[in-house]
Amino acid sequence: MTTTAPAPAATREALGPTLIRLQNEGHDLVVVDADLGASTSARRFKNEFPERWFEFGAAEQDMFSAAAGLSTMGFTVFASTFAVFAEHAYDQIRMNIAQPNLNVKIVISHAGVTVGEDGASAQSIEDIALFSSLMNFRVIVPADVVEAAAAHELAAKTPGPFMIRTGRSRERVIYPDGVRLQLGKADMLREGTDVTIVAIGTMVTRALDAAETLANSGIQARVLNMASVRPLDEDALVAAARDTGAIVVAEEHIALTGLGAMCAQALATKLPVPMEFVAVPNRYGESGTSSELMEIMGLTPEHIVSAAQSAIARKR
C-alpha cells in the first residue's frame, strides 16, 4: 500500500469545516463575521446554519463587542477576521472580552508576513504580543491545517477567550488527521540532545527541515512545536534547556515581543542557557510572495540552522 503525502494547505482553511462539524456534534455555536468570511473560510458555516451566523460588515469594533454580548446569552461565539483587523478592535477585545472573561473565540487569519503581496499594512507581526498581553486569553498558533482544526475544537470545548492565529500561505501538512492539541503542552516532533528549536506556525516545518540539515553535520536538534503560546509549556522549555543546553525560538512575528521574548523570560528565572531568535527583525514588511517575504525577513530553514550553530557555539 502506498500513502501519498497530503497536499499543502493553509491553516485558515480549517475554520469553516470545523465549525460545521462542531455544531453538528452538538456545540451551541454562533459565528460572527466582518465581511471576510469567504477568506477566513468561516462563511461556509453560514450555508449550513444561517440563523447562527451574524454579519456585521466591515465593522470589527462592533463585531467583537457584539460577540461578547452574544456570549453572555450562553453561546460559544467564534469571531474571525484578518489578524490586522482584529488589532483594529483591540480595546473592544480587551474591555468586552478579556476583562469579563467571556466565551469568545477569536480566529485571526492571514497573520504574519506570509500574507505576502498586500504589503506591510496587511502583515500582522505584533498580534501574538497584543493577545498575549490580555489576561484570560489562551493564544494558539497551529502549525498546519490539521492542528488548526484541533485548535478550533479545543477552543470550543474550553470556556473563555481564545485567540487562534492562522495563515494564508499553503504549507506542508505534518499532522495526521484527528490529532489533538493540549493546552499548555508543547509537542516534541523530533528528539535531540545538542540544541532545541522551539517553533510555532509556519516556522515548525522550517524547524524540521533545519533539524534535518543539522543532522547531516552531526548536530542532533530537538524540535518543539509550541502551538500553545499561552499558556506556555515552561516545563518543556526547562527540560529543553537542561537536556540540550541551547535554544532557538522561531516565529513569524516581531522579535521584540513575541514567543522568543516570552521563552527567554521564562528561562531567565529558571534555567538560563544560550538562546537565539529567528523572528521578524523588528521592521515592517513589504510586497512580495510569501516565500520571498520569509527570505527577506530571515525566516528560512537556513536561518534556523545558523542560529542553532551560534547558540551551540555559545555553550560552555
What residues line the site for another protein (CB under 8 A)?
30, 51-52, 54, 56-57, 59, 61-75, 91-92, 95-96, 99-100
Tell me the residue length of the chain: 316
Residues 6+ apart with CB under 8 A from 139: 128, 131, 132, 162, 163, 165, 228, 229, 230
H/E element, 80: strand 76-82
User: Whole-number minimum distance, CB 56 to another protein, in Å?
Assistant: 5
User: Whole-number minimum distance, CB 105 to another protein, in Å?
Assistant: 14
Nearer to another protein, 70 or 229 (CB): 70
Residues serving a catalytic function are 60
Nearer to another protein, 60 or 252 (CB): 60
How far apart, in whole angstroms, are the C-alpha atoms of residue 196 and residue 219? Answer: 11
The answer to whether residues 219 and 194 touch, using CB atoms and an 8 Å cutoff, is: yes
Nearer to another protein, 91 or 243 (CB): 91
Residue whose entry in the numeric block shows the C-alpha cell 501538512: 173
User: Whole-number minimum distance, CB 282 to another protein, in Å?
Assistant: 29
Nearer to another protein, 56 or 137 (CB): 56
Nearer to another protein, 70 or 208 (CB): 70
The answer to whether residues 79 and 64 touch, using CB atoms and an 8 Å cutoff, is: yes
Among left, alpha and beta (phi > 0; psi -120 to 50; other), residue 41 is: left
Q: Where are the beta strands (DSSP E) in 110-267?
A: 138-140, 162-165, 187-190, 195-199, 221-225, 228-230, 247-254
User: Whole-number minimum distance, CB 229 to another protein, in Å?
Assistant: 25
User: Whole-number minimum distance, CB 33 to another protein, in Å?
Assistant: 12
Q: What angle do CA 235, 237, 241 make, to 5 degrees?
A: 115
